[in-house]
Structure 1
Amino acid sequence: MQLNGSEIVIECLKEQGVDTVFGYPGGAILNVYDELYKHRDEIRHILTSHEQGASHAADGYARATGKVGVCLATSGPGATNLVTGIATAYMDSIPIVAITCNVGVSLLGKDSFQEIDITGITMPITKYSFIVKDVTKLADTIRKAFRIARTGRPGPVLVDIPKDVTAAVTEYEREELGKVTPDISQVSDEGISRALSMLESAERPYVFVGGGAVLSGASEEIREFVRKLDAPVADTLMGKGAFPGTDSHYTGMLGMHGTKTSNYGVSECDLLVVLGSRFSDRVTGNTETFAKNAKILQIDIDPVEINKNVIVTEEIVGDIREVLKIINRNLKQQDHSEWLEKIQQYKEKYPLKYHTDALTGPFVVEEIYRQTKGDALIVTEVGQHQMWAAQYYRFTKPRTLLTSGGLGTMGYGLGAAMGAKVGCPEKTVVNIAGDGCLRMNMNELATAVRHNIPVIEVVINNHVLGMVRQWQDLFYDERYSATVLRDAVDFVKMAEAMGAEGIRAESQEEFREAFAKALTLNKPVLIDCQIDSDDKVWPMVAPGADIKEAFDEDDLKNK
């Protein structure tokens, strides 16, 4: 049948099973929005307050559901406003498709009004960037974009469409969505055999779980693997929930703000099994001394990650879930009770702790955990509150912590929380924010109200840029350059002005009551939690130091 480009865009979205898009209209993309209006009963459009909010919402939708998230923007500044969200998704391997429209083909390259080379700009931060100048190639390009976004190591793809292409007419024929099969083409019997030999000869093995394990959907296989290997487990920020945080084998996060148990255990192990982690500097500390007593077995879908930051002993390139299925079938039951007992002693000696006599970030997170019974989708911004959420909320399922790990994007959380709630309407969705981050995205609270998206925004308000101030305290002789936010901004009034419920909490009891109320309201709620400006995230490893050099408040006092 004959369709114009805009009709083809919408039909291709329907082919891919897209039920929600996030975006902001403008002149260049107006034809697509006109067609979207005609299909509003089939595809829901969430009009955000800013295009960056749309890209983060598509990201949050993708992380929470496992589907491909979709965002739309017009040419020029509309398209460039997506860039930070696209980069956030790229760093964390999140499948989104960003569709932008540009000036007409004849106007490209002429500095036309609101023209920008968005494919050139986003090339380094996408798996692929397309510009479609021929309407006959539009349908296949959109299908290819979705296929690239969701296969192999997932990630964002951008499709830019000149306005005249959205109006041009060509023949369109519907295609059924093909099934995605996990890639284990590079997995050899010899590689599996070498891995099994390493696993069965280890005396002090440690399992280290990263974000790739979440994306692979390998949680069940990891639990079986850990039981058979009989080993302790640490994770990254991105790996939260791939292995249950309530399991006795679990020792907490690894790295700069990881537990002492995980940092000491990995430093002493003789085999480190790495499942879908890219060895971020925040995890490894000094790479020269990281796990220096251990052989390292790395399992990852992306060969680029092998030996990139840390040299490994053996690698298996392939989908983690499928690789572990093979290993689990062949791995003999191991017994490392003595090693696990030593790790347990570390857990008892070095528990996470905080001051319990005041309202603090850790208390807020633990109270959220108690009231949600550990069954919420937790979204965070970036900073101290992000680390407290990772430390004190015990994630037992994958896709339940949504956070910007690689890029560290302040302003990510509120958009992502809306996307997560739209994708998983039955779940309680809580965005844990800092007051600095809220200033970067609080306009999206109006979006949540406009579309009746009942997210709970919990603001850990210390009136400073907390994590930067912590570094200024510890490494810059308390020179608080541009990190103090004490001004007249009232977040409760701001929330109320936008149509949300605003509640202030200055004590533990006030927060208990405020959060309990928020759970009953079924509307956007902001809780402004007033905490001390000098509260810190403990433990901590100084940048570039050995992870064994983790220190906390007591260590500083005793130094």
Structure 2
Amino acid sequence: MSFGAAEYEPPLPAAAPKTRLKGAQIVAAILKQEGLKQIIGFPNSELFDALAELDIPPIITRTPRVAVNIAEGYARVTSGRELAAVTVQYGPGAESAFGGIAQAFNDRSPILFLPTGYPRGHEAVTPNFEARRNFRNVTKWCEAATRIQDLPQLMHSALSRVRNGAPSPVLLELPVDLLAEMADVDLADYLRPRRSLPQAGAEEIRELVDILLTARNPLILAGQGVLSSQASAELVAFAELLGTPVATTPNGKSAFPENHPLSLGTAGRARPATVDHFVAKADVVLAIGSSLTRSHYILPIPADKTLLQVTLGEADLGKDYPIAQGVISDARAALCQMHERALEALAGDDRLRARRAVVERDIRRIRAAFLQRWMPLLTADSVPISPYRVVWELMQAIDPERTIVTHDAGNPRDQFTPFYQAVTPGFYLGWGKTTQLGNGLGFAMGAKLARPDTTVVNIMGEAAFGMVGIDFETAIRCNLPILTVVLRNHVLGGYAASMPVATRKYGANRMSGEYAPIARALGGHGECVTDPTELRAALLRCLGEVRSGRATLLEVVTHEESRFAGLSPEMR
């Protein structure tokens, strides 16, 4: 028997088996495929149970903002190589998380933010807070799911943006009724987004390197992009080849080892004298892995410099400074290309060796004089204790190769950053474009979550602790033993100058309270030290408690200090 062409239809391939899942289970299954290790957030979110079914544990905080801070610390310590995901309840949960997302946006942290949303049909009802409408200016992609069938594609789109381009929070709002809806899905065809890194053209690199090689006094300014691309070794090799001094931005601190002979330290609001000297002397500045954002907390680059910029984000080019040349590239790729071009141009010529020797000699001389001027404060025996004595004793008590350190906003940042030498990439979480008090506690917990084998220390003032202190209990409950050092002077440090009348008449800058008892009441270890001669022993005891697995708070009674490196003429 024969079949005509019109009569024969080949059998269809067997349909792939589908599974009936809720929307929350679809999202959870994709996150599982993407390697998510934990979900961070604050109830209520349908994703907590859906992920727990897949053996992915929740990290439940006391506040949504701290949940986001933990995710940022985790993302930054892992250089974005591990997925940091946060979920919060629609309405008040999303509202409370806004500050944390704004912080992560300013500091270029790749976070996947999955807030739940009001049931579909209630989006435009006042005063319902819709994440997709309100977070657009603090995320690089901000959308809402409206159909359960679209969840796999929307998750793919979101994760593609988390992994690619300039790091930034990415938001997908998930309506609660969609998360509860059922659908037949086949997730076998889901494709995991890959990371793709842009690379500059050879001619761009040639021009950039040639400018550096003809400069009299070049300087490299390394930003957080060097850390994100894990390019510290390449940066060291390139700086050594050119004999060029290296400073970092506050966010980029630790991108270049600060015990290296070519290191200048961090070019923040407060900074070591080495930074001021070489920035003033430079004729060409190469900013690599930096957005070159102007900020009150970042040292501005003088207008007389020839400025070169290498960045992942095209929107960064020339946004705050006029640049002679801008290159869009991953920092590591650019450094490898620049190193190769410099070797080719030098062709065995070691004329830069003499320059490197002079630069290193000048750095040693200026740093020694700088430390000599500040040593009376760093080793002061005053009572109450000098905050600089706290900085000095902490530097002696910890091993910087095994310790991740972060600071909070305000005086603790300005007192700590100029002196602490960060030597391991990613082991210092600096920040400062936006300066919300209290972020350091969450950053420290996120760092410990990412690197449980390290010691993690956070330094904050009492105003910062007041913003987030109850989340110290999260560190205890979630087995994240960190050391928080609280500097207590019972004033809002530095704020009297901005409200002198209110301070004089009403004591508006005054604070009160004791914080070590709070740590003990929450279940952690807490100590208070008032004598500078007892400070190091107290630090060592507290570090021992942390290493034994117990979250610890050390309260240090200090005096208010108005002198800052680089800002106080009498200390220059």
Q: Is the structural similarity TM-score above 0.5? A: yes
Question: Which of the residues 382, 394, 397 maps onto 2:421?
Answer: 394
Q: Specify the alignment match of 2:510 in structure 1.
A: 485
Q: Specify the alignment match of 2:43 in structure 1.
A: 25
**Secondary structure of the residue that 1:281 maps to in structure 2?**
coil
Which residue identity is paired with 1:159?
Answer: L
Cα distance in structure 2, aligned partners of 1:300 and 1:472: 40
Which residue identity is paired with 1:484?
Answer: N
Larger CA deviation: 172-181 vs 218-227: 172-181
Q: How does 1:58-457 map to 2 (within 5 A)?
A: 58-66=71-79, 67-111=82-126, 115-170=128-183, 171-174=185-188, 175-184=190-199, 187-282=200-295, 290-331=301-342, 332=346, 334-335=352-353, 336=355, 337-351=357-371, 353-354=374-375, 355=377, 356-358=379-381, 359-374=385-400, 375-457=402-484
Shift of 1:480: 9.3
Shift of 1:275: 1.2
Which residue identity is paired with 1:366?
Answer: W
Distance 1:33 1:478, change over 3 A: closer
TM-score, normalised via structure 2 length: 0.88
Maintained 8 Å contact 1:88/1:404: no
Identity of aligned residues (%): 24
Q: How many residues align?
A: 531
**Secondary structure of the residue that 1:124 maps to in structure 2?**
helix
Shift of 1:404: 3.4
Alignment gaps of 5+ in structure 1: 541-550
Q: Specify the alignment match of 1:9 in structure 2.
A: 27
Shift of 1:177: 2.9
Maintained 8 Å contact 1:133/1:165: yes
Cα distance in structure 1, aligned partners of 2:297 and 2:43: 43
Q: How does 1:38-77 map to 2 (within 5 A)?
A: 38-39=53-54, 42-66=55-79, 67-77=82-92
Q: Specify the alignment match of 2:12 in structure 1.
A: none
Maintained 8 Å contact 1:465/1:484: yes
Alignment gaps of 5+ in structure 2: 1-17
**CA offset digits 1:194-249 (Å, max 9, x no partner):** 11211211121111111222112110110001101101111111111110010111
Cα distance in structure 2, aligned partners of 1:363 and 1:471: 27
Maintained 8 Å contact 1:272/1:291: no
**CA offset digits 1:396-443 (Å, max 9, x no partner):** 122112243221121111122112111211110111111110000001
Cα distance in structure 1, aligned partners of 2:452 and 2:205: 41
Shift of 1:285: 7.6
Which residue identity is paired with 1:517?
Answer: R
Which residue identity is paired with 2:318?
Answer: N
Q: Specify the alignment match of 1:516 in structure 2.
A: 540
Cα distance in structure 2, aligned partners of 1:481 and 1:372: 41
Cα distance in structure 2, aligned partners of 1:478 and 1:294: 42
Cα distance in structure 2, aligned partners of 1:203 and 1:151: 36
Shift of 1:339: 4.7
Shift of 1:453: 1.6
Distance 1:415 1:256, change over 3 A: closer
Instruction: Give the aligned CA root-mean-square deviation in angstroms.
Output: 2.3
Shift of 1:68: 2.9
Which residue identity is paired with 2:236?
Answer: R
Maintained 8 Å contact 1:12/1:139: yes
Which residue identity is paired with 2:409?
Answer: V
Shift of 1:469: 4.4
Which residue identity is paired with 2:187?
Answer: E
The question of 1:553 aligning with 2:570 is answered: yes
**Secondary structure of the residue that 2:553 maps to in structure 1?**
strand
Distance 1:54 1:365, change over 3 A: same
Larger CA deviation: 400-409 vs 350-359: 350-359
Cα distance in structure 2, aligned partners of 1:118 and 1:394: 40
**CA offset digits 1:148-202 (Å, max 9, x no partner):** 0221111101111111211222313143534313111xx2222111112112111
**CA offset digits 1:284-333 (Å, max 9, x no partner):** 9896xx43443222111112212111112122211111011011112135
Q: Specify the alignment match of 1:548 in structure 2.
A: none
Distance 1:480 1:380, change over 3 A: farther
Q: Specify the alignment match of 2:3 in structure 1.
A: none
Higher-Rg member (1/2): 2
Shift of 1:392: 2.1
Distance 1:104 1:268, change over 3 A: same
